[in-house]
Each structure stands twice: as structure tokens, then as C-alpha cells.
Chain A
Amino acid sequence: MLDAWIKPKIDWLNAQPFQQTIRYTEWVVPTMQTIHIIAVAFVMTAALIVALRGIELVGTEWSVARWYQRFHASTIAALWVLLGTGTILTLAEPERELLNWVFRTKMVMVVITLVLAHLLGRRLRTLQPGQKAPGGVRLFAVIILLCWIGIACCGRWIAYAG
């Protein structure tokens, strides 16, 4: 049913001159994918370091809250880049993405992960400087990292499944 609703929109998109330009200009998709991956590196490294700091494996000179603060601006910027490049990639090959259950799973996971990351940020902002993060907060950071890994897996599998 969802496919039947989406298909006419894809047909409309495929008929647009700008879509044809994006799709058939040889360098656009690989360049957008490269930028997309670089932005993923910003987001995933931030999640990894915060999670590893949470379980006290790295970066003990700074508190979890300070690490989170260190990565906040770059993560937000990277998320905007991901949105922009992801939109262009979807416009380039709409049927490959929008009719693909892996892509849909990825999008649902992105929304859930962003909500979880927002909640983690709110909780960390209530901590005093240098205060040790409670166990639940640290577990939350690890769950968010696992979510980003799941999203990255979905991203790669869009090319293979659907």
C-alpha cells in the first residue's frame, strides 16, 4: 500500500530535469557518498568516544558530559550534512531508496537514535562539572553507539537488499 502511494511520486521525480542531471552526472553520486561517509565518521566517532568514556575505557581526563559537549556542535553540523547529501542521493535514485525496506528501517532508526541522543544530552546537561555519570546514562551512551552502528549497516545494505 505504501509502495503504491510512493510510486507516482517517484515517477514524477524521475521526470524532472534536475533529477536527470543529478542521476546522470557521473561524479555526483560518488562525491555525495564520499561526503556522506565523512559526515558519518564525525557522528559515529563522537558516539564511540562518548560511549567508551562512559564505560571508562578512554578519555578519563574529561567527564562524559564534557566529551559530549566537545562533540555537540560538530555532530549537529555533520547531521545537517548527512541530511543534505542523503536527500541528493535519494533524489538521484529514488526507487532504489524509497521502495527499499532497508532504507525505511534506516530512517526509522535514525529518528529513534536522534531522540535517544537528545535525551542523553538533556540528562548530561543536568550533571555538575566533573560529576560521574550514573550507570543508566553510560548504558544509554552505549545503546546510542549500537544504534549508529545499526544505521551504518543499513546504509551499506541498501545497495544489496530491498
Chain B
Amino acid sequence: MIDTILDAIAALPIGQYIAEDPVAFPWTETAHVICLVIVFGSILLIDLRLMGLASRDYSVNALTRTILPVTWVAFLGAAITGALLFSSNPHGYWGNFYFKAKMCLLLAAGVNMLVFHFVTQRRAPMDQPGVLPGGARLAGFISAVIWIAVIACGRWIGFTMSPF
């Protein structure tokens, strides 16, 4: 089943183009790194606020309102460029431990965000400056750790497989 899907992705013209063109892969990877850096940096801004380590005079609701649109645009860019990189060598990426770990960590980051949004954020007052309850601080800490691990796995992919 999975092999059929990977074969279909490998047969896509866009993937073959990225694998064969001398500048397509480097430019796609550059765009992916820049998008991921902005995703991580903007999320970290909110995580540090949740943990009470920075921007304590800015309410979490105001901060998320102002930062999350940036995060989502960058995440969309990272997802598109990441999919393009994957299409250049789907079997290679799928067989790579760090790629799978990165995908699991992204899933964990998503679950952490949903729990924060639907549970923690509704229980704690997020529209005032100041230090937040333990649940919110823990959510910020878990998010920061997960995203640092995402960056690390992304870098280790480059050292454990050839791009195509």
C-alpha cells in the first residue's frame, strides 16, 4: 500500500524536476529552511510568553492574534516546500528514521496546540498581562522542546541520506 503511494509520488513530474534540475533542490530547500525558521521563531515567541520568560506585559491573546498569522503563512510555505522535497525522493525520505521522527514530532506539536487551544486557553485568563497558570506554562515548554527537536531532526536528515 505505502509502496504504491511512494511509487506514485516518485512518478510525479514535479518530483523528477526537483531531483534532476541542478538548482531546484537547493532553492526549494533554502525556502523550506527559511519558512521553518520563521515557524519556529514565531512559535517560540508565544512559548516564551506562555512560560513567563518574555513579553509578560503583552497578553497571550493579543500576542497570538498578532503572531499566529505569520506562523501559519510560514507553516504553509514550509509544508509546500517540504512536500516538494519529499517528492524528489519519496522512498529515501520514507526510509529515513529522522524524517519519520520529524513527522511524529509535527503531529505531537499539533496535538499540543489543539489541547492548548481547546482546553488550557479556555480555562486560564489569557487576555491580561502577567504570569500564567502551570498548564499554560507547561504547554509552552512542551511546544518549545518539540520544535527544537523538529529542527534537529530536519538537520539530521541531511546527514543521514543523500537527497536523491
Binding site for B on A (CB under 8 A): 29-31, 33-34, 37-38, 40-42, 44-46, 48-49, 52, 58-62, 70, 74, 149, 152-153, 156-157, 159-160
B40 contacts A156, CB within 8 Å? no
Whether the Cβ atoms of B54 and A70 lie closer than 8 Å is yes
CB atoms of B55 and A58 under 8 A apart = no
Contact B38 A45 (CB under 8 A): yes
CB-based contact A37/B70 at 8 Å: no
- B-side residues, CB < 8 A to A, are 26, 29-30, 33-34, 37-38, 40-42, 44-45, 54-55, 58, 62, 66-67, 69-70, 148, 151-152, 155-156, 158-159
Question: Would you list 20 pairs from A and B whose C-beta atoms are within 8 A, ordered by A residue?
Answer: A30-B152, A31-B152, A37-B37, A41-B38, A41-B44, A42-B41, A44-B34, A45-B37, A46-B41, A48-B70, A49-B70, A52-B70, A58-B69, A59-B67, A70-B54, A152-B30, A152-B33, A152-B37, A157-B26, A159-B26
Alpha-carbon gap, A125 to B28, bound state (A): 38
| Interchain pairs with CB closer than 8 A, number | 78
Docked complex Cα distance between A73 and B20 (Å): 44
Query: How long is the Cα–Cα vector from A90 to B86 in the complex, in angstroms?
Result: 29
Describe A's contact surface by its main secondary structure. helix
Q: How far is the CB of B8 from chain A (nearest CB, A)?
A: 29
B70 / chain A contacts, CB cutoff of 8 Å: 48-49, 52, 58
Q: How distant is A25 from chain B, measured CB to nearest CB, in Å? A: 13
Bound Cα distance from A114 to B33, whole angstroms? 22
Are A157 and B30 in contact (CB-based, < 8 A)? yes
Least Cβ distance of A118 to chain B in Å? 21
Contact check: which of A30, A38, A42, A61 meets B159 at CB < 8 Å?
Answer: A30
Residues of B contacting A44 in the complex (Cβ-Cβ under 8 angstroms): 34, 37-38, 41
CA distance A29 to B156 in the complex (A): 10
- A49 CA / B42 CA spacing, docked (Å): 9
B158 CB to nearest chain A CB (Å): 8
> B34: which A residues are within 8 A, CB to CB?
44, 149, 152-153
